[in-house]
Amino acid sequence: MARDVGSLGPVGSVGAVIAALALQVYLPQYLGFIGNLDLPLLVAIYLALMSRNVIVGLLIGAAIGLAQDSLTDGSVGVFGILKTVIGYLAGTISLFMEVDHPGARSVLVALFFLIHQVLFWIVETVLLGNEISMQPVLTLILAAAHAGLALAVFSLLDRLKKTS
Amino acid sequence: MLEFFARYRNVSVLVAVLFLQFVLLGYQVKRNDDVRVLRVWTVAAITPIEIALKAVSSFVTAPWQEYVWLVDTREQNQQLREQVSRLKLENQEFRRALTRFGREAELVDFQTKILSESILAEAIGRGSNPNSKEIFLDKGSRHGVKSGMPVITPDGIAGNVQAVYGGASLVRLISDAHAGVGIVLEDSQTRGVMKGTGSGECRIDYVGDEIAVRVGEKVFTSGDDRIYPKGLAVGEVTRLEQGTEFQRIYVRPFAALDRLDDVLIVTAGIHEELPEIPRPQPPEYLMPSPSPSQDGADSGELGRNALESSQESAATEGQAPRTKWPVPMTDADRLKERYRAIGAAQGHRFGEGEPGTPPPDFNIGLIPFVGPNGQPASDHTAANRKPPGDDRPSDSESASESSIVDTGAGGSGGAGEAVQSSGEQSTEEAQSTPPTLAPQ
């Protein structure tokens, strides 16, 4: 665990998270479709997978989720819960399978995105009582988009890790 | 325990982190009813357990408590009965108080509406004389009450102050036999004096028989008595008695004089305008309009046809046919009809003879119009001036009929029918024909 995360380094990890959050906030002003993407989710998945540790993974997810919540006007804790679960799952899976392969990463990212969206719907509707509609087709398209984008993001982060 | 957490460390940490975030989330978010979601979740989690525990305990203890352990039941039942009785009494008191507050509010509202200055008073007793209509009020000279001040209610006037004491005053009601009020009748604006009768109603005397007063007509104060301000409601006419010269008008006061409670004592009276109420109009009869297709010269036929056509149209429309009114004719119409009949009898055509040709004899066909006393009647037109619907023959008509019998002309038509003594017109038709050729 310490080996992989340490390779990226705390500064690199924090920098990646901050960059993802900043781009998530900044880019949609000029590129509207970016608003449908969840860049912090990709970073959380990457860091959790690379950590090879369940607890570290869920804590990374919780931290990124709470940070993302703090940048929204919604309740703090929604994305924290979601990304905690995603970090936990990513950390768990990283213990049992090789996650350096691009195909495996893409599939995992797509899967995690779907889980993320389902959990989001459950939290919003069941726990908070907000009526939101589930759009399956759009969700699947976005899952594929995240899978494709993850290849580029993960590759970039891999290079940062090697550089560091 | 520690071994459990050590064994399931990952899951434990996950649950702990999620729990903390759930708490954080639930503390922030409020439902629409302004209750925090955290509280909703907690209640939702605890309530089913409480319900289950309660159901179990009830299942166990209910048979014992409801069927076996009834030691205190009788005593509790007695206490509850007493409590119910006490609460009923309290409820009645509260209802009375509520009604009283409602009346006082109504009185205060009325007090603000009238122009006169007044003070609120409460009836605290009745006069000792059983034959008089008097009440005691709880306001006296200390409150500014003076003798003669009128006492009113939102419904109508009640009486005036007769005697003033320190903290009370005696009021003579308008129904007292010695009370008098200057009034004005609503419709006829007739002024008069209303006196009490000692009973529940009052009476207005000295209103002439010729004054039309209707039952239900409202009566207001006129201000003439220098006691009651003008324009206050007094009562309404309940019945009338015609006398030889004056009629007696009985009035029921609007104010509930036999159960007065809260009243207003008018300390500075100001006259008010009488309310404007639309007055009833007598029914009007509209004569049938003449048919434009008829010749204007034949006004007799014209009117007759118009009347018949209006009756036919009324029958067609399912309405009852109108009463046969006299055909409207002027004196010029009658004269024209007379001349035409005279000309037709002599074969004379008006306006076609050469100058110098003799005119027709206008004296033929005159029926000797003899009255019952053998003297010629001077004015037969009274027969035509009968009120509508009056089928009784007038004196002149009777005389005319008798003269017709004498001459053998038949019908009441007069000279025209007498000249055309061919009997073409039936009796019924002759009755509907106006007596246009009666002697002038």
Is residue B71 included in any domain, yes or no? no
Is residue B12 included in any domain, yes or no? yes
> What pLDDT does residue B50 have?
77
Q: Which residue has the higher pLDDT, B290 or B183?
A: B183
Domain of B346 in residue numbering reads as: 329-432
Domain match, B261 and B121 both: yes
Which of A22-26, A42-46, B125-129, B213-217 has the lowest average pLDDT?
A: B125-129
Among A62, A75, A92, the residue with its CB nearest the CB of B17 is: A62
| Backbone dihedral region for residue B410 (phi beyond 0: left; psi -120 to 50: alpha; all else: beta) | left
Q: Which residues of B touch A59 (CB under 8 A)?
A: 13, 17
Average pLDDT, chain A: 85
Domain match, B261 and B292 both: no
For helices B299-316 and B331-345, angle between their N-to-C axes, nearest 10 degrees: 110
Q: Which residues of B touch A124 (CB under 8 A)?
A: none
CB spacing of B29 vs A75 below 8 angstroms: yes
User: Quick check: ipTM above 0.90?
Assistant: no
Is residue B438 included in any domain, yes or no? no
Which of B306, B328, B350 is the last residue in one of the domains?
B328
Task: Quote the pTM value.
Answer: 0.37
> What pLDDT does residue A71 have?
78
Average pLDDT, chain B: 74
Q: Which residue has the higher pLDDT, A30 or B51?
A: B51
pLDDT tens digit sequence for B184-217: 998 888 888 999 888 888 999 888 888 888 899 9
Give the nearest chain B residue to A92 (CA atoms).
B10
Question: In degrees rounded to 5, what are phi and psi of residue B124?
Answer: -115, -5
Q: Which residues of A touch B37 (CB under 8 A)?
A: 127-129
Is residue B95 included in any domain, yes or no? no
Which of A67-71, A83-87, A112-116 has the lowest average pLDDT?
A: A67-71
- Interface membership of B44 toward A (CB under 8 Å): no
CA quadruple A61, A64, A70, A73: dihedral positive or negative? negative
**Which chain A residues in 37-76 lie under 8 Å from chain B, judged by CB atoms?**
54-55, 58-59, 62, 66, 75-76
C-alpha B350/C-alpha B343 separation (Å) is 7
* CATH number, domain with residue B227: 2.40.10.340
Beta strand B157-164 pairing with B169-173 = antiparallel
Among A62, A80, A128, the residue with its CB nearest the CB of B29 is: A128
CB spacing of A84 vs B37 below 8 angstroms: no
Among A58, A59, A77, the residue with its CB nearest the CB of B25 is: A77
Helix (H) or strand (E) holding A146: helix A136-163
C-alpha B400/C-alpha B392 separation (Å) is 14
B168 pLDDT higher than 70: yes
- Interface membership of B29 toward A (CB under 8 Å): yes
CB spacing of B24 vs A76 below 8 angstroms: yes
pLDDT tens digit sequence for B57-77: 888 888 887 888 888 888 889
Is residue B100 included in any domain, yes or no? no
Q: How many CB pairs under 8 A join A and B?
A: 55
C-alpha B278/C-alpha B411 separation (Å) is 49
> Residue B377 CA to chain centroid, in angstroms?
51
Mean pLDDT of A100-107: 89
Residue B36 is encoded by which pair of tokens? 């925090």
Domain match, B336 and B322 both: no
Domain match, B344 and B410 both: yes
pLDDT tens digit sequence for B226-263: 888 888 899 999 999 888 888 889 999 999 888 888 89
- Listed in sequence order, the residues at least 6 apart from B200 whose beta carbon sits closer than 8 Å to its beta carbon are B175, B252, B253, B257, B258
Domain match, B141 and B195 both: yes
Domain match, B339 and B321 both: no
Residue B62 is encoded by which pair of tokens? 């209910």
CB spacing of B9 vs A78 below 8 angstroms: no
Domain match, B54 and B162 both: no
Q: Which residues of A touch B29 (CB under 8 A)?
A: 75, 128
Mean pLDDT of A44-70: 90
> What pLDDT does residue B274 have?
66
Residues of chain B above pLDDT 70, percent: 69
Domain match, B177 and B222 both: yes
A135 pLDDT higher than 50: yes
CB spacing of A92 vs B10 below 8 angstroms: yes
Number of domains in chain B: 4
Which of B280, B297, B328 is the last residue in one of the domains?
B328
Residue B17 is encoded by which pair of tokens? 């982190």
Is residue B97 included in any domain, yes or no? no
Q: Which residue has the higher pLDDT, B380 or B326?
A: B326
CB spacing of B18 vs A85 below 8 angstroms: yes
> Smallest CA–CA separation between A97 and chain B, in Å?
18
C-alpha B374/C-alpha B378 separation (Å) is 12
